[in-house]
Amino acid sequence: MVDEKYLTSKELLQARQTQSINKNRLEETLVSLKLLDEEKMTRAKAVFFHIPYIDLRSIAMPKEALTLVSKETMENYAFIPFAKAAGTLKIALTDPSNLQALEALEFLAQQGKYRIELYLTSRGSYLEALQKNRTITSEVGEALEVMKQKEYAGIVQKKEAEVPDVSKKITPEAPITRIVDVVIQHAITARASDIHIEPQENELRIRYRVDGVLHSSLIVPKIVHPAIVSRIKILSNLKIDEQRLPQDGRFHMDVDKRSIDFRVSTLPTVNGEKVVARILDKSGGVPKLEELGIVGMKLSRLKENITKAHGMVLVTGPTGSGKSTTLYAVLNILNKIGVNIVTLEDPVEYFIDGVNQSQINPDIGLTFASGLRSILRQDPNIIMVGEIRDRETAELAVHSALTGHLVFSTLHTNDAIGAIPRLLDMGIEAFLLTASLNAVMAQRLVRKICQDCKKEIPATDEVKKIFISELADIPTEESLDIVLKEKDMKIFAGAGCRVCGDSGYKGRIAIVEVMPLSDAIKNLVLNHEAISKIKEQAKKEGMIGMKQDGLIKVLRGATTIEEVIRVTKE
């Protein structure tokens, strides 16, 4: 180590003196004294033993290599297979002087007829790789094996009418409890927004929705389905013996020091009860508008309208398009000591200090409409209503905006302009609508390119034409940092890596359009002009459509054109 200049002779002498006192191994002493970090120490050992060094954190390990060695063997001998090709198995080990480990590898080579290539890795790198590669399949498989050993299968094979008996067997130590915990743990690790538990004819399928797309994660025997559903019903305080009607419930868990709420919905199907659990991470904090992807003119227009003394601002889009998160980000900006903010939500997804948040409960008569009436008696400055679903709520929201309150809410429409005919259809008079509505913002969520495997890709002539035709008339403020010349145009994609699960995407960002209600637009609404004319006027005033915003984000390297087309196609 001194010869390779990893440390000086003086530092080595210091370590020797300390070692004589603490009786630890020299390498442990060097690390504890911070004369060498673990990776430098491992590199030095690799040079000494003439073995290549590898950091397992930087590579993806294929399942075909990992499944060749049992978990117990990897843990006993502190090695892990990380690659397999053409009869060669690459093994990373932590201690090349461990004769038992070398004997085990020799046996493995003989049994599998592999040529073993040895690499040296640090203990920390090995442990991290071992933990990362504890797959949901292997962990659930272990629990299923325990069930077989305990003859638990005899319980879960009971008919659905006997499910209450199953629930009595579901203790915190039960294998079914372990399976449900593993499914939840892996869903959170994978950044899933929903867990789908779907009974098929002969098996049970578990899928996760990650970044808006469903991924199949696990297939387990159908016999465990009643017990898994019962476990989730117990957690959610649902009726275990009710399998004919849909049920809704919720439960809370602390997972990896994070506060997680789960909204549970059950639905009877021909193959049994389907369960969907929406994951609400309350510990993540409220993001800023800029972090959501609202920038440039769109941000300045939105801020101009949310800081007015009164009026109504609506955010529109389909379910799961991030509307509530946007409203939370807005409330965070407005949350000052001198204002009273009251919300009515279903459910409360984030907790904000200083904001009075209330959750509706239709079962006891607390709806958006009835709750809004009560809120008006709470001396509010700012009101947030989770969703305008009916005429009564719409009328109360408009009335609140006209009587000196700033009101925020959401609607299900395809674009910003669509909010106007929707409210008119709900029975809101045009003169009340134009007097109360400040602005409408529509949004969708697109997946972001994974920054760990992002690469430039060639843009076809067809793609270049799409950019040029769609973005030709956008305001200068929005095109300052993008290149629209065909020969210089650059687009990007994710190659796929371990960090993003080989999808090429990680996380999501909003594409938006913001339409303030100018005097010209208000006049068109009052005159009952066609929606096409209102849209034309909004564009004249500089409104950028969602698709245009998405294409701008493609040229900025945030997402791909495929994502933009996927979420904006009619």
Instruction: Encode pLDDT of 527-549 as tens digits.
Output: 999 999 999 999 999 999 999 99
How high is the pLDDT of residue 114? 83
Residue 562: burial class (beta carbons within 10 Å; 0-12, 13-18, 19+) = exposed
Fold of the domain spanning 37-132: GMP Synthetase; Chain A, domain 3 (3.30.300)
Q: How confident is the model at residue 129 (pLDDT cuts 50, 70, 90)?
A: confident
Q: Where in the chain is the domain with CATH 3.30.450.90?
A: 136-281
Which region among 64-73, 160-169, 448-457 has the lowest average model confidence (pLDDT)?
160-169
pTM listed for this prediction: 0.71
Q: How confident is the model at residue 23 (pLDDT cuts 50, 70, 90)?
A: low
pLDDT tens across 357-371, in order?
A: 999 988 899 999 999
C-beta atoms surrounding 372 within 10 Å: 24
Give CA separation, 60 vs 102, 388, 424, 505, 560, in Å.
24, 47, 55, 16, 24
pLDDT value at 163 more than 60 = no
How high is the pLDDT of residue 281? 83
Region 240-265 average pLDDT: 90
How high is the pLDDT of residue 570? 63
Which region among 50-59, 157-166, 477-486, 502-511 has the lowest average model confidence (pLDDT)?
157-166
Q: Where in the chain is the domain with CATH 3.30.300.160?
A: 37-132
* Residue tagged 């009273």 (tokens): 340
Q: What is the largest CA-CA distance in the chain?
A: 92
pLDDT value at 159 more than 50 = no
Region 157-181 average pLDDT: 56
How high is the pLDDT of residue 328? 95
Q: How confident is the model at residue 519 (pLDDT cuts 50, 70, 90)?
A: very high
How high is the pLDDT of residue 414? 92
How high is the pLDDT of residue 165? 43
Q: Torsion angle, CA of 353/356/359/363, rounded to 10 degrees?
A: 150
Region 471-481 average pLDDT: 78
Compare 224 and 276 and report the one with higher pLDDT. Answer: 276
Structure-token pair, residue 564: 């933009």
Reply yes or no on domain 136-281 having CATH 3.30.450.90.
yes
pLDDT value at 171 more than 50 = no
Q: Which amino acid is at 335?
A: N
pLDDT tens across 313-327, in order?
A: 999 999 889 999 999
Fold of the domain spanning 289-568: Rossmann fold (3.40.50)
Q: How confident is the model at residue 67 (pLDDT cuts 50, 70, 90)?
A: confident
How high is the pLDDT of residue 390? 93
Q: How confident is the model at residue 164 (pLDDT cuts 50, 70, 90)?
A: very low
**Cβ atoms of 411 and 314 closer than 8 Å:** yes
Region 413-418 average pLDDT: 95
pLDDT value at 155 more than 70 = no
Give CA separation, 253 vs 179, 221, 232, 281, 416, in Å.
15, 26, 12, 10, 37
For residues 195 and 176, what is the distance between their CA atoms, to the nearest angstrom?
Answer: 16
Compare 352 and 5 and report the one with higher pLDDT. Answer: 352
pLDDT value at 160 more than 60 = no
pLDDT value at 437 more than 80 = yes
Residues in the chain: 570
Q: How confident is the model at residue 180 (pLDDT cuts 50, 70, 90)?
A: very high
Q: Where in the chain is the domain with CATH 3.40.50.300?
A: 289-568
Q: What does the mean pLDDT of the chain come to?
A: 86
Write the DSSP symbol of residue 366. Answer: B
